Structure 1
Amino acid sequence: MTRTFKAQAIATILGTTSDTIRRATEESGLDVQRQETGPRTRIYTIENVYELAQWRAQKKGDKKPKKPVVVTVYVPKGGVGKSTIAANLACIFPTMGLKTLVVDLDFQSNLTLAFGYDSELSHEEAEEDGLSHERVVDHHFGSLFPQWPQAMPLEEIIKKPFGEYGPHVIPSDVSLDNLDTIMTFEALESRNSASMFAKLISDGRTGKRPGVDLSSYDVIIFDAAPAKNRMTRSALLASDYVVAPISLEKFSTKAVSYLSRVLNEMKEEAGRCPELLIVGNFFDVTRTRVLNQTAMIRRTYNDQWMNSIIRRSEDFPKTLSSDTYELPLFLSKPNSPGAEDLRKVASDLLAKMGVL
């Protein structure tokens, strides 16, 4: 969280030039530290990145969606880079001036960890290890529901790892699994648990739900678990789009065809379903199998396939753990091919959704 940048790195992140960044810094009056020794070069924090992005968007008068666009990142298969892509999209959208909320719906909490929060850490352990209590996860998405034993308002659940103008995060921990249990009881008592979830989001988008006002956001992202549980189905029902990352190295036709069936069933039963958008990951132009897989899925899912893909790269972390925490790639290595691909995917998704 202490990563700093020089003007050239900020220019890469915001898709502009170093001179533009320097002028924007001066015009905005942003308080940026300078190097203490040697040349008095400006040193930007991550918070500065998002402050500049917000200032530029306001100056240009960028149009915003009339209500938040809701997206679920989901595919019924693990190991496809789902949480990695969700975390990076959540970091990229605010650089385009979009106020973004990302919600971890997987009690394994990989996305939560991607933003530096440790779902296994207690306040006592943080104290003993000299860690900030901000890293501790006390509440999650389930805490927004009145059925939850200790229901909390949205503002007390949200974490802001990179300041007010960066992505806002609703983290997860293992107790989130209890929300699925609550929803099962709701269903057994003849109440539609999926509608309970969808109504919370629908009312929140229009500012009609006390304690859950989502109306100020431009984009809301759910990172759903690979399993088809009630939370995942409910997130899909509440969403406008489902972004399905697939591994082009180990592409499973069953996973995507299964998701297509789930969406068709949802449309028949509920009268609506999110629009499917497929993002290819781990693309390697040197591997014939990958090229064949890519051509095959483009033929089969031409309307749902996003032309921008993410190349296979060693820059993406192999594993996530609290001991080896790294910033999402878009921020940690903004000049990398992976970061470039992610930004292109984000832009194309927003264009497809009609946001940009």
Structure 2
Amino acid sequence: MTDDNFSVEDLVNFVDYNNLFYTPAFAAACFGLTTRRLADIEAENGLDIRRIQRGASSARTYTTTDIFEISALRRALGQAKGIGRQIVVSTFVQKGGTGKTTTAVGLAVCGQLAGLRTLIIDNDPQGDTSSMLGYDPDLGPDDLAEMGIPADRLVDGHLGNLISPLLRMRPFEAKTLDQVIKKPFGENGIHLIPADNYLEDLGVALDASNNSDMWYAKWIDDATNGRIPGCDLSGYDLIIFDNAPSGSRLTKNSVAASELLLCPVRMDKFSFRALIRLHDWCARFAKEYSYSPAIAAIPTMFKRNRTRLLNNLLRLNELFPGGVTEEKIYFSEDYEKALDAGIPLMLWKGANKETLNAARTVYGEILDRIRGLAKAG
């Protein structure tokens, strides 16, 4: 029991992603295609999409596995292209409640659908990204068995297990990537390195090491170039770190490893102060390391025709010229409802089309910036 009124079962919403079914219109919209073009791709490549009976006729219906398999097929056919080299991205704003995890997961889903092989790393000991993707770090093997949740939803490894072999102080058992990685939507979907509260011990180990902010960068470089047995990151185009709302050692490591920071921010005065602190923090980081990642500031929970919000948006563009997305994430109950449903918003068929279209536009802008960074070399 978590308290006198609620049990663990009350707080966990297990969703079997294999039992989510989508219409042709939803599946086509994931790729920016018409339903006719989607049907042509399936016919041309012999894809067998199940059909359900509706009265006297039948209609195609898609699973998440189908959708991500189509994404992989489009990449193989050259209809959706990679980016030429790997790009690392981190979420970072020193303020909670701005939508960092929703942004990280949304970008990961859209990146994978756009043909980028995407790995999302939960770098927050609270494990919110892991939970959003169906891996609750608070559930042990007995909890899963009692609740009828598949055993493969167990979080039994995290980033610390992969980085420990590089460190002088080794707080975790070394594991291979295959032992840690999760694939909530199958092999062709986004991949996840989950987190739990033991990840905090990695920060202690990093503090005790030389060059304490640079170990994530070294790990990614070594793992991408074949220098770490059992940990190959070379197959990923896009790596996304989702961070806690703090400038912890874990966060600093992800920032130092990144070429782009995703900074979702509400336009209220408290969140806006966090952006000003971010601006100052980036300036100090650049001075210390002679390097600073690019910024993608995303206005979130935005409400139209609010003078104060528009004034703050103007100031945001002054702080980060060229770094603010043109489109905004508008306030919508869909975000909370998707969270309650246990399904990432970009894959929740209950979302309003306007909500989804605005989010897809924002993530499309960010993916364009990622392609630009990759092209610039």
TM range (shorter): over 0.9
Q: Write out aligned runs for 1:11-160 (5 A).
A: 11-36=28-53, 38=55, 39-60=57-78, 62-145=80-163, 146=165, 147-160=170-183
Determine helix, strand or coil for the equivalent of 1:279. Answer: strand
Map 1:160-171; keep pairs closer than 5 Å: 160-171=183-194
Displacement after TM superposition at 1:265 (Å): 2.0
Checking the alignment, whether the CA contact within 8 Å between 1:249 and 1:283 is kept in structure 2 is no
In structure 1, the residue matched to 2:310 is 291
Query: Residue 299 of structure 1: CA displacement?
Result: 2.7
Distance across 1 between alignment mates of 2:79 and 2:271: 43
* Structure 1, 203-212 or 256-265: larger mean CA deviation: 203-212
Report if aligned partners of 1:67, 1:215 keep a CA contact under 8 Å in 2. no
Q: Report the more deviating stretch, 206-215 or 123-132.
A: 206-215
> What is the alpha-carbon distance in structure 2 between the residues aligned to residue 230 and residue 173 of structure 1?
16
CA gap 1:257/1:207 in 2 versus in 1, 3 angstroms: farther
Pick one of 301, 317, 321 that aligns with 1:302: 321
* 2:359 aligned with 1:346: no
The CA RMSD measured in Å over matched residues stands at: 1.9
Q: Write the mapping of 1:138-287 to structure 2, written as runs, cut at 5 A.
A: 138-145=156-163, 146=165, 147-186=170-209, 191-250=210-269, 252-287=271-306
**Aligned residues with identical type, % of pairs:** 33
Do the aligned partners of residues 251 and 336 (structure 1) sit closer, same or farther apart at CA in structure 2, a change above 3 Å counting? farther
Q: In structure 2, what is the Cα distance between the partners aligned to 1:318 and 1:293? A: 28
Query: Structure 1 residues 304, 246: closer, same or farther in 2, change over 3 A?
Result: same
TM-aligned CA deviation for residue 235 of structure 1: 0.4
Amino acid at match of 1:328: P
Is the contact made by 2:83 and 2:116 (CA closer than 8 Å) also made in structure 1?
Answer: no
Q: Which amino acid aligns with 2:342?
A: E
CA drift at 1:251: 5.2
Letter in 2 for 1:174: N
Cα distance in 1, alignment partners of residues 287 and 221 from structure 2: 20
How far has the Cα of 1:253 moved from its partner? 3.5
Give the secondary structure class of the aligned counterpart of 1:245: strand
Query: Which amino acid is 1:166 matched to?
Result: G
Residues in 2 aligned to 1:11 and 1:44: alpha-carbon distance in whole angstroms: 10
Deviation at 1:318? Answer: 6.6
| Helix, strand or coil at the partner of 2:94 | coil
Contact 1:249 1:282 in 2 (8 A): no
Q: How far apart are residue 227 of structure 1 and its match?
A: 1.0
Cα drift, residue 68 of structure 1 = 1.1
Answering whether residue 21 of structure 2 is matched by residue 4 of structure 1, we say yes
Structure 1 residues 122-145: Cα deviation after superposition (integer angstroms, max 9, x where no partner): 111111121111222111111102
Partner Cα distance (1:9, 1:73) in 2: 28
Unmatched 5+ stretches in structure 1: none
Amino acid of the residue matched to residue 153 of structure 2? R
The total of aligned residue pairs comes to: 349
CA offsets, 1:27-59, max 9 Å, x none?
Answer: 222232221564221211001001111112221
Show CA shifts across 1:187-246 (max 9, x none): xxxx12222222001222333332221111110000011111101001000011111110
More off after superposition, 72-81 vs 339-348: 339-348
Q: In 2, distance between residues paired with 1:166 and 1:251? A: 36
State the 1:168 CA deviation.
0.5
1:56–1:319: structure 2 CA closer, same or farther, 3 Å change rule?
A: closer
Distance 1:166 1:249 in 2: 35
- Further displaced range: 16-25 or 193-202: 193-202
The separation in 1 between residues aligned to 2:306 and 2:314, in whole angstroms, is 13
Match of 2:348 among 329, 332, 342: 332
In the TM superposition, residue 261 of structure 1 has moved relative to its aligned partner by 2.2
Q: Does 1:311 align with 2:330?
A: yes
- Cα–Cα, structure 1 residues 43 and 173, in superposed 2: closer, same or farther, change >3 Å? same
Q: Distance in 2 between matches of 1:242 and 1:180?
A: 20
Spell out, residue by residue over 1:11-38, the C-alpha distance to the aligned partner (whole angstroms, 9 max, x if none).
1111110111111122222232221564
Aligned partners of 2:108, 2:35: CA distance in 1, in Å? Answer: 24
Secondary structure at 1:266's aligned position in 2? helix
CA offset digits 1:283-308 (Å, max 9, x no partner):
11132222222122123322322212
Whole-angstrom CA distance in 2 between matches of 1:265 and 1:48: 46
